[in-house]
């Protein structure tokens, strides 16, 4: 993938990240990822390999055994995983394990940091899951109904979550719940708190049930519906300040969207690479189909759009450190919007280039297409990004 992915100037540290991640990814070929998708099997071997090399600690401070890097480096990491053949699913298999540690780094108690972060950095503990979305609370996160009621030195959690990913591959779940009912707070963004839940302990106690949700994209990464019934969480596992959880979530939102954009870029680059390979090799009427403009132009346009999105994404990543929050928010959202659309266009061009083989599993591009469609929905829809830009960037009246 070198000719496709190496199209922006990187710092020495970013180059080191790219080379190191590429070396690991080289051990997992297309057949590996194809079978994970077909069998709907989590890529545990790949995840363990990254963990053994310390990559789940990329955002963990050095004081706790991590690499102490930032968004510019994690963007490179996630783009490379996707572009290597893993696609969006490959990136999503590790995404949560990296970013769900951020609230603990920023807001967790010192005791929680000292206990958990070194184990995360060493690949010995996984915080792969975030329980936020609910059946009646998707984009409107302040409408969550899951409750956490204080009882001595514990909180008792009751409620339901949906679309919680990687519950089958984690040790802990970050659960977002209301500690004060919405009707009792001055603003709906208040009264929400974050908790670290020990998954095995909750399952053993019978206070947590889970059910996998059948789906058609990113099949190697499973999503779950969760039910909490009198789940007891120690006060020590409260992340940050009670009632401030929504603001703590927002604090890392821009960075996560930039990294999601990078994953979209990697998927788009992967699709273009496979489309170009096939266009060069496939001959019809005595010449390669890539000689025809009808084949060349869609791939060339997809390449141009991916590169434009890439420029915005890397600019956004560089702006995170010390940048104005309004400017970073605008760049983060625009990056995600452009990268998701570019990935979809690239995957569509790759499928069309393959003709009938575009829907054959052995050529992989149908998987890229399914995953690219998903990128336009998660973690925020394209429409909500436009709402954000209209209101926050263009200063138009709020539309919802």
156: three-class secondary structure by DSSP? strand
Mark residue 191 as left, alpha or beta (left: phi above 0; alpha: psi -120 to 50; beta: remaining): left
Chain centroid to CA 121: how far?
18
d(CA 176, CA 147): 9
Distance CA 104, CA 79 (A): 24
CA gyration radius, the chain: 21
Residue of 73, 134, 256, 371 with catalytic role: 256
Please state, in angstroms and as integers, the Cα–Cα distance from residue 122 to each residue in 16, 67, 130, 218, following that order. 19, 10, 20, 26
223 has which bridge partners? 165
- Whether 256 is catalytic is yes
For residue 226, the surrounding DSSP H or E stretch is strand 223-234
* Rounded-to-integer distance, Cα 194 and Cα 191, Å: 10
Closest CA to 177 of 139, 223, 142, 151: 142
Rounded to 5 degrees, what are φ and ψ at 283?
-115, 135
Q: SS3 of 233, please?
A: strand
| Catalytic machinery residues | 256
């Amino acid at each position: 993938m070198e000719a496709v992915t190496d199209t922006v100037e990187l710092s020495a540290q970013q180059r080191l990240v790219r080379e190191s991640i590429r070396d690991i990814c080289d051990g997992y070929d297309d057949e590996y990822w194809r079978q994970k998708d077909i069998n709907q099997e989590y890529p545990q071997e790949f995840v363990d390999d990254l963990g053994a090399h310390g990559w789940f600690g990329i955002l963990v401070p050095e004081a706790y055994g991590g690499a102490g890097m930032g968004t510019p480096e994690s963007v490179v990491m996630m783009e490379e995983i996707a572009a290597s053949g893993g696609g969006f699913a490959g990136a999503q298999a590790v995404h949560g394990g990296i970013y769900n540690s951020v609230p603990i780094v920023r807001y967790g108690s010192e005791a929680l940091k000292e206990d958990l972060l070194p184990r995360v950095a060493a690949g010995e503990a996984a915080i792969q899951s975030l329980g936020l979305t609910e059946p009646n609370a998707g984009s409107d996160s302040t409408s969550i109904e899951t409750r956490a009621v204080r009882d001595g030195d514990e909180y008792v959690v009751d409620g339901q979550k949906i679309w919680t990913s990687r519950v089958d591959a984690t040790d802990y779940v970050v659960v977002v719940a209301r500690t004060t009912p919405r009707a009792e707070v001055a603003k709906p963004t208040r009264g929400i708190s974050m908790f670290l839940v020990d998954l095995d302990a909750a399952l053993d106690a019978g206070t947590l049930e889970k059910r996998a949700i059948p789906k058609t994209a990113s099949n190697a990464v499973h999503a779950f519906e969760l039910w909490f019934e009198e789940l007891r969480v120690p006060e020590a596992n409260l992340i940050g300040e009670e009632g401030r959880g929504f603001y703590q979530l927002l604090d890392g939102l821009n960075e996560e969207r930039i990294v999601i954009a990078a994953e979209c870029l990697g998927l788009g680059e992967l699709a273009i690479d496979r489309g170009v390979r096939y266009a060069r090799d496939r001959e019809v009427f005595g010449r390669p189909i890539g000689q025809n403009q009808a084949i060349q132009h869609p791939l060339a346009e997809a390449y141009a759009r991916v590169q434009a999105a890439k420029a915005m994404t890397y600019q956004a990543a560089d702006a995170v450190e010390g940048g104005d929050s309004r400017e970073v928010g605008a760049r983060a959202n625009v990056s995600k919007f452009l990268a998701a659309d570019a990935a979809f266009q690239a995957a569509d061009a790759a499928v069309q280039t393959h003709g009938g083989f575009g829907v054959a599993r052995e050529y992989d591009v149908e998987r890229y297409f399914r995953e690219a469609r998903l990128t336009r929905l998660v973690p925020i829809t394209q429409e909500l990004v436009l709402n954000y830009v209209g209101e926050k960037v263009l200063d138009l009246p709020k539309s919802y």
